[in-house]
Chains A and B, each alone.
Chain A
Amino acid sequence: MKFLCVECDRQMTFEERQLPGDGTLAAAFRCPKCGRAVALLTNPMETQLVSSLGVKIGGATVPAEPLQTIRSMVATGRDAAFADGGERATGNLPSWSAEAQDRLSRVPGFVRGMVKKIYADYAKERGIGEITPAVMDAARAELGLEEM
């Protein structure tokens, strides 16, 4: 997928991705010459088609977790399918506020371990000591975790 600024005859560069939370997606591209920005808006079906390929428009910001597409997309997964629940300690893990733990507990067991690891890695990489709902919201927006 490429975007061309026809007036400048220049390929546009990816600027940012937004996930409003209704299954749609917005991806902005900008012309490096004239600065004009255009947004690609996908409907839920188109968004799902891209997600089904295990890719993200604009690129993935973090490496994919094992079986990430399966764990994030399967609606009928078994709660106890995975043995460790994602508790793969790597040292200096951030703590979880009570509100964040409560929110995490509402994530289906099939995907909870992976979601927990993604949030923990996000916080750790940014030097965040405690994961709160606000941190989770920021991670969701920044990493494009619409399906989680």
Chain B
Amino acid sequence: MPLNIRTYHELTEPDRSGLGEQIATQRRRLAARLAAVGRVIVVMSGKGGVGKSFVTAHLARALARAGRAVGVLDADLNGPTVAGLLEAGTARLVVGEDAVLPATGSDGVRLVSMAQLLADGQPLAFKGPPAESFVWRGAAEAGAVRELLADVAWGPLDVLLLDLPPGMQRFLELCDILPAPPAVLTVTIPTPESHDAVRRALHAAQERGSPLLGVVENMVGGPFAGTAGADLAGEFGIPVLARIPWHPTPDTWHLLATRL
């Protein structure tokens, strides 16, 4: 005869392991930290190598030059490059009483990146049992991104740009971590291959309820032929915010900044 075991939800007393409350505390801490941030924008693409970090860095600088308070979180933990592009790749982070102060990069952009935390040339490696590390590594990376959002004294910001790695994993993690789905700025190159990958990413963002701000088509006028930017904009009903040539000028970025 089977035992009569009540289910988890039928036990109405608090979770005695304390895990639920700790997760809730983490969420409150993050929400409080981002309360002074006007807008969180993820710069993403389903495709690698399209210039997300390049666009993020130059857009951040253009926004800062236009008088906005801008922060950048390099959410590409395994291939952090945006800090180097903002000339703060090896800046030391100052630890305050309850938060770490972000570094200051080009044009006053505040930023935090794993590049500032990792030893030179070393990959991101975690302590822990090496066998079957795939089981916990994703959780560790998501936890690291959460801490970089919640434990950094970003201060009042008009915009916080999050530079994402290729693919959808980090975006989906952020949808779970952030109080609301972040606004999405999509970067593509003109090719059909990029169109296919970015299209999937946009569908995922749409399904999660993220506002789609528009498409930035990068590396236009070079060897990459195609109409990915216009095609994506047409399919999703969003604007092409910029078509970035191989040799963009400050005006290129200024124009993009004014359209956000």
Contacts and interface: CB of A to CB of B under 8 A. Distances in A.
B17 A74 contact: no
Interface of B: 3-6, 8, 11, 13, 15-19, 21-23, 26, 92-100, 116-120, 122-129, 131-132, 135-137, 139-140, 143-144, 146-148, 151-152
A69 to B, nearest CB: 5
A76 B93 contact: no
B25 to A, nearest CB: 8
Given A48-B128, A66-B151, A78 B120 contact: yes
Interface residues of A, number: 53
Nearest to B116: A81
Contacts of B135: 45, 49
A88 B94 CA distance: 10
Contacts, number: 159
Contacts of A9: 4, 6
Contacts of A57: 17-19
A23 interface: yes
B213 to A, nearest CB: 29
A121 to B, nearest CB: 11
A88 B128 CA distance: 29
A60 interface: yes
A126 interface: no
B240 to A, nearest CB: 37
A60 B124 contact: no
